[in-house]
Structure 1
Amino acid sequence: MTRDWSRYWRSPDRPLEAMHAHFEQHVYHRHSHDTYSFGVTEIGAQAFTCRGSAHTSATGMVMAFNPDDPHDGHAADRFGFTYRIVHIGPEVVADALEDTTGRRTGLPLFTDPVLDDPVLAHSLHALHLALLGGASALRRDELLRATVAAMVRRGSTTAGASDRTPRTGALLIAERVRRRLDDSPLDDLTATDLATAAGCSRFMVYRAFQAAYGLAPSDYQRQLRLRTARRLIARGLSLGQVAARSGFADQSHLTRWFTRAYGVTPGTYRKAGLLPTG
């Protein structure tokens, strides 16, 4: 019998979410978030792949994912792992990093997804407890600002480095394909549709997109639909309506993929927004 459990919290007014979970059997399907995601492993070890390499976050270690970093995850052994993770929208990170003169310093880039840093682990743990524990809004904001600042100071590299990446032919193809998918996430697009949009062969579409973003075009399309589902759930639509409006065949289809990607059911995610916020 599995002993998997999870508890979820999300802010009702900004892109800020948190989860506390223990997983022995759950396996995350490869997915990404449109947020920065910072986690700390409390017990055990989580194994995952990210940016083309295998990683393990053991007890006391911190995980740092940039927006749109594809990753998966599972227990490294039969005993499972317990961890806490916060998802912070880029605009919230930018606000937290604004200096005393009101200037924006640019968004950070984390090149190492696992950090062995007790200071960061302590800071993330304190922020997470405040979010799920009903601390006051002022206390949550103070801890959020301090945690983001510490993560950037101790764990990030250059800001905006990805903006300076040379746009090779393959990258241009991947960007055209991504724009086509972004423009019509609910359309039943074919490989031919994407090849036409990118001006290349169907084989090149897959190869270029996979190399640029770490996901197949179909996985990226599903990710867009899952993000749409999250927004619709937060707006209060029924799960049947959410499934229909986000491109899933039915509610069970939505539930299956939502759980594989995020570790919680759509119903749990809905209830998270109803929890007291302090």
Structure 2
Amino acid sequence: MQHDWSRYWRSPDRPIEAMHAHFEQHVYHRHSHETYSFGMTETGAQSFTCRGGAHTSAAGMVMAFNPEDPHDGHATNPLGFTYRMVHIGPDLVSNALADATGHPTGLPLFTAPVLDDPALAGALRALHAALLGDATALRRDELLTATIAGIVRRAATTPIGRPGEPSRSTRVARQTRQLLHDRLTDDLTMDDLARSTGTSRYAVYRAFRTEYGLPPSDYQRQLRLRTARTLIADGTPIGEAAVSTGFADQSHLTRWFTRYFGLTPGAYRQAVTPGQPRSR
């Protein structure tokens, strides 16, 4: 009987990460990534909610998430699912799509989070295998560029960005987001958020959830987890990373880290810094 497992890889010098996992019991908490996230389901099926709808990615299907697209995820049935996911930073996507003169062409927007496209699934699998395998740097770059171009050509719609001035609601959401970034470890209240934006607590909550798909408290926790993940990858002891990012202790960080990222902080550190001790 197969049990939950996950393997992770992180580029030491570029914003690329890759995950290969099988889950039967694990349930992802609703979260988002700073990156574009492209994946393919190898076996079984996984169900998730994204952009206000329920979706299922069965074997051979492709998933495409924009940066900051909130989503969750779990096995569709008790047999579980196996999938490969590649996370690519927006700047790297922009560079891969630059025109012949080297000028960026803008960032793509994916409106369908699930695609039934065998060609794209094959390209993603090849890219993922190269990242986790022993392919040369040149081969990895070729596959990365070709895969990004292919998925944009076949699945993207309009560029990201809204014309004109942002609405009052959008400005409130962005101001709130900046406060959460600036005061990462502070125990902020809704009154703090309301005062900083000059509006009511309900208006802040509604504006933020409309803009980012998460309540401010979930975004705050996610931001702390992302920061802790960076610290851990840079060699900070897990307990120290927990306290410095606002978690009560290492076990508190571990519980939430696993719910968001699908592996423990210790397993993540071992994956991205081979040779490091498993606990510290």
Gaps of 5+ in 2: 276-280
Assess if the C-alpha contact under 8 Å between 1:39 and 1:83 holds in 2: yes
Determine the structure 2 residue equivalent to 1:206. 205
Assess if the C-alpha contact under 8 Å between 2:208 and 2:216 holds in 1: yes
CA shift, 1:188, in A, is 1.0
Aligned partners of 1:69 and 1:3: how far apart in 2?
28
CA shift, 1:21, in A, is 0.4
Determine the structure 1 residue equivalent to 2:265. 266
The number of aligned residues is: 275
Gaps of 5+ in 1: none
Matched, 1:116 2:116: yes
CA shift, 1:167, in A, is 2.5
Query: Could you give the per-residue CA deviations for residues 148-199 of structure 1, whole angstroms, max 9, x where no partner exists?
Result: 1111111111112x33376223222212211211221211111100000111
Equivalent runs, 1:14-29 vs 2, <5 Å:
14-29=14-29
CA shift, 1:8, in A, is 0.7
Q: TM-score, normalised by structure 1?
A: 0.95
Q: TM-score, normalised by structure 2?
A: 0.94
Determine the structure 2 residue equivalent to 1:82. 82
SS in 1 for 2:162: helix
Determine the structure 1 residue equivalent to 2:248. 249
Determine the structure 2 residue equivalent to 1:35. 35
Assess if the C-alpha contact under 8 Å between 1:32 and 1:67 holds in 2: yes
SS in 1 for 2:83: strand
CA shift, 1:117, in A, is 0.8
Query: Could you give the per-residue CA deviations for residues 6-35 of structure 1, whole angstroms, max 9, x where no partner exists?
Result: 111111111100000000000000011100
SS in 2 for 1:56: strand
CA shift, 1:2, in A, is 7.0
Assess if the C-alpha contact under 8 Å between 1:9 and 1:275 holds in 2: no
Question: Could you say what the CA RMSD is over the residues aligned between the two structures, in angstroms?
Answer: 1.5
Determine the structure 2 residue equivalent to 1:65. 65
Determine the structure 2 residue equivalent to 1:135. 135
Q: What amino acid sits opposite 2:250 in the alignment?
A: Q
Determine the structure 1 residue equivalent to 2:162. 163
Assess if the C-alpha contact under 8 Å between 1:2 and 1:25 holds in 2: no
Aligned partners of 1:165 and 1:248: how far apart in 2?
39
Aligned partners of 1:165 and 1:142: how far apart in 2?
37
Assess if the C-alpha contact under 8 Å between 2:233 and 2:273 holds in 1: no
Range moving further from structure 2, 254-263 or 205-214: 205-214
CA shift, 1:274, in A, is 3.1
Assess if the C-alpha contact under 8 Å between 1:7 and 1:21 holds in 2: yes
Q: 1:197 to 1:2 in 2, by over 3 A?
A: farther
Equivalent runs, 1:218-237 vs 2, <5 Å:
218-237=217-236
CA shift, 1:262, in A, is 0.7
Runs of 4+ with >4 A deviation: none
Q: 1:265 to 1:193 in 2, by over 3 A?
A: same
Determine the structure 1 residue equivalent to 2:178. 179
Query: Could you give the per-residue CA deviations for residues 120-152 of structure 1, whole angstroms, max 9, x where no partner exists?
Result: 101000000111112111111111111111111
Q: What amino acid sits opposite 1:121 in the alignment?
A: A
